[in-house]
């Protein structure tokens, strides 16, 4: 079932055409990524979804016109408030929804262990590593129990090793919780590792140039066959992003064929 469906979404800022007819969908329990070059308009698309900007086109959620925000949004930077302890950062979204701080703390406390943050409830954000800060930001996002997660380059600011560890962790968490999620990223490997499907976005004015079903098993394994298959798909995707004019209707099959 299609949870989120966007048809022909366009947005200009004055004479600057940013989005030129974006259509995509995300099914319930599906992890989908939008992969595109810097400045293409990915964040603008998220701002349209959250209602921060108005554009043209049709946005539906569970078949009805998008009304209010069914999304929990995690921005590029962790945006933890330095003057609130970690637990009080995590409860923030719930408090905004009207839950008392005490009730919110009781609700989030059991989740600290699962997010690798046990023992750091009363720490200040500055006392956490980059990966821990992102896990705290993700915890703050998911405890809001919205119908869908929007993740805007959540690991963009992390070093390569922490980033790889976080991707592995998030894939495990996703398998456990089956969140419906839409991720935007520049990182081809991240999109392949995490997603069920990937939309490739062109440079501005942004269009969807390809839709790819990721043919890799879950859990993602690090065995040599899986690694070869992933690498072939990553190479195809990179090629498509760098040569957007070339027709690639047989995309995922190419990756499968190369790996066999
Ligand atoms: N409020 C605004 N007013 C005018 N132009 C804007 C506004 N917001 C974004 N833009 C322009 O729209 C284009 C797309 O920006 P956007 O931030 O959506 O890209 P992006 O794909 O998310 O980029 P990045 O991956 O680098 O974060 C850019 O050229 C940007 O300058």
Q: Which of 10, 18, 150 to mutate to test the pocket of ligand 1 (most atoms within 8 A of CB)?
A: 18
This complex has an ipTM of 0.94
Same domain? 98 vs 133: yes
- Cα-to-centroid distance, 43 and ligand 1 (Å): 7
Same domain? 120 vs 60: no
Span 204-208, mean pLDDT? 93
Residue 40 near ligand 1, beta carbon < 6 Å: yes
pLDDT at 252: 52
pLDDT at 57: 96
Rounded to an integer, what is the distance from CA 224 to the centroid of its chain? 27
Domain count for the chain, please give it. 2
Q: Which of 39, 201, 202 to mutate to test the pocket of ligand 1 (most atoms within 8 A of CB)?
A: 39
Question: Which of 98, 123, 145 is a domain's end point?
Answer: 145
Question: Which of 119, 145, 171 is a domain's end point?
Answer: 145
Residue 39 near ligand 1, beta carbon < 6 Å: yes
Q: Does residue 121 register a pLDDT over 80?
A: yes
Rounded to an integer, what is the distance from CA 33 to the centroid of its chain? 6
pLDDT at 76: 79
Span 17-35, mean pLDDT? 96
Q: Whose CA is nearest to atom 29 of ligand 1?
A: 39
Instruction: Determine, yes or no, domain membership for 29.
Output: yes
Instruction: Determine, yes or no, domain membership for 254.
Output: no
Q: Does residue 249 register a pLDDT over 60?
A: no
Under the banding of pLDDT at 50, 70 and 90, the label for residue 224 is confident
Same domain? 7 vs 49: yes
Instruction: Determine, yes or no, domain membership for 19.
Output: yes
Span 104-116, mean pLDDT? 90
Span 239-253, mean pLDDT? 69
Per-residue pLDDT tens over the stretch 91-101: 998 898 899 99
Instruction: Determine, yes or no, domain membership for 234.
Output: no
Q: Which residue has the higher pLDDT, 251 or 101?
A: 101
Under the banding of pLDDT at 50, 70 and 90, the label for residue 102 is very high
Q: Which domain holds residue 211?
A: 2-70+147-215
Instruction: Determine, yes or no, domain membership for 221.
Output: no
Same domain? 63 vs 87: no
Residue 18 near ligand 1, beta carbon < 6 Å: yes
Q: Which residue has the higher pLDDT, 258 or 179?
A: 179
pLDDT at 247: 60
Q: Which of 9, 12, 33, 41 to mutate to test the pocket of ligand 1 (most atoms within 8 A of CB)?
A: 41
CATH code of the domain covering residue 60: 3.40.50.300
Q: Is 95:101 a contact under the CB 8 Å cutoff?
A: yes
Residue 34 near ligand 1, beta carbon < 6 Å: no
Q: Which of 50, 5, 36, 32 is nearest to 212 (CA)?
A: 32
Same domain? 23 vs 124: no
Same domain? 23 vs 137: no
Least trusted range by pLDDT, from 25-39, 145-159, 235-249: 235-249
- Cα-to-centroid distance, 38 and ligand 1 (Å): 9
Instruction: Determine, yes or no, domain membership for 141.
Output: yes
- Show the 3-state SS of the chain: CEEEEEEEEEEEECCEEEEEEEEEEEECCCEEEEECCCCCCHHHHHHHHCCCCCCEEEEEECCEECCCCCEEEECCCCCCCCCCCHHHHHCHHHHHCCCCHHHHHHHHHHHCCCCCCCCCCCCCHHHCCHHHHHHHHHHHHHCCCCCEEEEECCCCCCCHHHHHHHHHHHHHHHHHHCCCEEEEECCHHHHHHHCCEEEEECCCCECEEEEEECCCCCCCCCCHHHHHHHHHHHHHHHHHHHCCCCCCCCHHHHHHHHHC
pLDDT at 83: 96
Q: Which atom of ligand 1 is nearest to the CA of 41?
A: 18
Q: Does residue 157 register a pLDDT over 90?
A: no
Q: Which atom of ligand 1 is nearest to the CA of 53?
A: 1
């Amino acid at each position: 079932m299609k949870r989120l469906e966007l048809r022909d979404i366009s947005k200009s800022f004055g004479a600057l055409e940013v989005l030129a007819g974006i259509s995509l969908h995300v099914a319930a329990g599906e992890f989908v990524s939008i992969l595109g070059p810097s400045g293409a308009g990915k964040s603008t698309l998220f701002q349209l979804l959250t209602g921060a900007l108005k554009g043209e086109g049709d946005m539906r959620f569970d078949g009805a016109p998008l009304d209010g925000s069914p999304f929990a949004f995690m921005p590029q930077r962790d945006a933890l408030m330095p003057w609130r302890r970690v637990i009080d950062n995590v409860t923030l979204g719930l408090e905004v929804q009207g839950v008392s701080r005490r009730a919110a703390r009781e609700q989030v406390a059991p989740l600290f262990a699962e997010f690798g943050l046990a023992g750091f409830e009363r720490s200040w954000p500055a006392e956490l590593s980059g990966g821990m800060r992102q896990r705290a930001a993700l915890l703050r996002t998911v405890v809001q129990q919205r119908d869908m997660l929007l993740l805007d380059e959540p690991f963009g600011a992390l070093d390569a090793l922490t980033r790889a560890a976080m991707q592995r962790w998030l894939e495990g968490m996703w398998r456990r919780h089956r969140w419906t999620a839409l991720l935007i990223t520049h990182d081809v490997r991240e999109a392949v590792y995490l997603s069920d499907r990937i939309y490739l976005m062109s440079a501005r004015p942004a269009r969807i140039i390809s839709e790819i079903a990721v043919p890799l098993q879950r859990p993602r394994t690090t065995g040599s066959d899986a690694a070869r298959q992933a690498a072939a798909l990553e190479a195809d995707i990179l090629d498509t992003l760098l040569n957007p004019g070339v027709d690639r209707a047989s995309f995922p099959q190419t990756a499968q064929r190369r790996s066999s």
